[in-house]
Amino acid sequence: MGRRFVFPAQVRPYGQILAIQAENNPVTSPLLPTYARADISFERGEGPWLFGRDGERYLDFGAGIAVNALGHAHPHLVKALTDQAAKLWHTSNLFQIPEGERLAQRLVENTFADVAFFSNSGAEANEAAIKMARKYHAAKGQPERFRIITFEGAFHGRTLATIAAGGQAKYLEGFGPKVEGFDQVPFGDIEALKAAIGPETAALMIEPIQGEGGVRPVPGAFMRTLRELADDHGLLLILDEIQTGIGRTGKLFAYEWTGVTPDIMSVAKGIGGGFPMGVCLATAEAAQGMTLGTHGTTFGGNPLAMAVGNAVLDVILAPGFLERVERMGLLLRQRLAELMDRHPGVISEVRGQGLLMGLRTHVPNTEFIAAARRNKLILIGAGDNVTRLLPPLIITEGDVAEAMERLDATCAAIEAGQPAVAQQGAAK
């Protein structure tokens, strides 16, 4: 439809790339141009370090948006993946997958849950959670209860149902009618929440800390109110721990800080340490509608993913690991507060928990992130003009000190008015 194919004047570095020029949408790569990519690529990683094709070494405090929980090329993960790769990659869910049974068992033993469904991504873990909540009520003879209440600023993924759950206009725009059944209320507004609960409400869905939304923690008291309201009205409580889970806050899951347990929980990102996978965990009660044939995925829980997931848990559940994450989180928070004191003209607020920290800045976060990158520090954007620090969970005190030096240099450059080339988008 109106596309013109234009040969580039010069051959680009990584293969011959056709410059495709669609009307009003010029692109210079065969990749669909949906991402604002920084002009940098990496060829290898080691622990918290990334080695760029530009010959530079970068300290990775983004971890692939909270994914590389154990850093890059962790020997235990590399071994688990390569050992499994030499044996068996995929069989489909038509057969038993003992590695998956084992991972599910370990997740169940270490959480509120009784059962697990493996997916390939976070959005698919949320899709499973949403379907499960609806099916729960249908199985109990109330199929009209299918609506789910979510919170402003939420991010639950990019499928049609999860953009409806997230409710953000920028992600819904142009994709046809919003999937029916999601009601959104202001973040933290108990009265609005109570008013939104009706006879069709099936569940409440929330991230314990809004990640993409700008590192906004849900207060423990609000979480307890959610649980009470859910119990009073026969609703299911769904926690999206895709970003907060697998040790990111210093507990295996962030809900453990609140004393509140969910009925359903979605997990992804860190659980694969970089291998694409996710999981929807639930109590047997909440999962009662998900009977034979009600849900499925070809790739979910395949032997390769399960080998890596088990290897990630080997490390994260080892005695002392999570305590160390908590200590590193406290150290990072303290150092960031000091950074703000030194650079009040650049940083306006420090937020977050554990190793999910956010800096709100006076300058646009795109500018801050670009300036940090020039100081060889990788950071990630979020909503509300926040920059996220999401280092691998294996960072040391030395890594925190390195990051602080680079952050000081970043702030100093901004204070000196050095121009910053904004290249990275604010959020995904």
Min dist. Cβ of residue 207 to ligand PLP (A): 5
Stretch that binds ligand PLP, among 56-64, 154-162, 174-182, 339-347 (CB under 6 A): 154-162
Interaction with ligand PLP in 188-217: which residues (CB under 6 A)? Answer: 207, 211-212
Active site residue 269: yes
Name the residue nearer to ligand PLP (CB basis): 157 or 352: 157
Considering the rule CB under 6 A, would residue 246 count as an interface residue with ligand PLP? no
Query: Residues with Cβ < 8 Å from 353, sequence gap 6 or more?
Result: 209, 217, 249, 250, 254, 257, 329
Active site residue 155: yes
Q: What does the block give as tokens for 171?
A: 């992600």
What distances in angstroms separate CA 342 from CA 66, 375, 388, 412, one per listed residue?
Answer: 27, 18, 19, 10
Site string for ligand PLP, 99-128 (x = CB under 6 A): ----------------------xxx--x--
Considering the rule CB under 6 A, would residue 410 count as an interface residue with ligand PLP? no
Strands 57-60 and 115-119, how do they pair? Answer: unpaired
Min dist. Cβ of residue 118 to ligand PLP (A): 13
Q: How large is the greatest C-alpha to C-alpha distance in the chain, in angstroms? A: 67
Stretch that binds ligand PLP, among 140-148, 235-243, 320-328, 358-366 (CB under 6 A): 235-243
Min dist. Cβ of residue 353 to ligand PLP (A): 14
Is residue 367 within 8 Å of residue 422, measured between CB atoms?
Answer: yes
Considering the rule CB under 6 A, would residue 157 count as an interface residue with ligand PLP? yes
Query: Residues with Cβ < 8 Å from 90, sequence gap 6 or more?
Result: 299, 302, 303, 304
Q: How many residues bind ligand PLP (CB under 6 A)?
A: 16
Name the residue nearer to ligand PLP (CB basis): 72 or 156: 156
Interaction with ligand PLP in 57-76: which residues (CB under 6 A)? Answer: 65
Name the residue nearer to ligand PLP (CB basis): 163 or 407: 163
Write phi, then psi, for 109 (nearest 5 degrees): -65, -25
Write phi, then psi, for 208 (nearest 5 degrees): -60, -35
**b/e code 236-247 from CB counts within 10 Å (16+ = b):** bbbbbbbbbbbb
Active site residue 275: no
Is residue 391 within 8 Å of residue 402, measured between CB atoms?
Answer: no
Query: Can you give the binding site for ligand PLP, defined by CB under 6 A?
Result: 65, 121-123, 126, 155-157, 207, 211-212, 240, 242-243, 268, 428
Give me the active site residues, please.
155, 240, 269
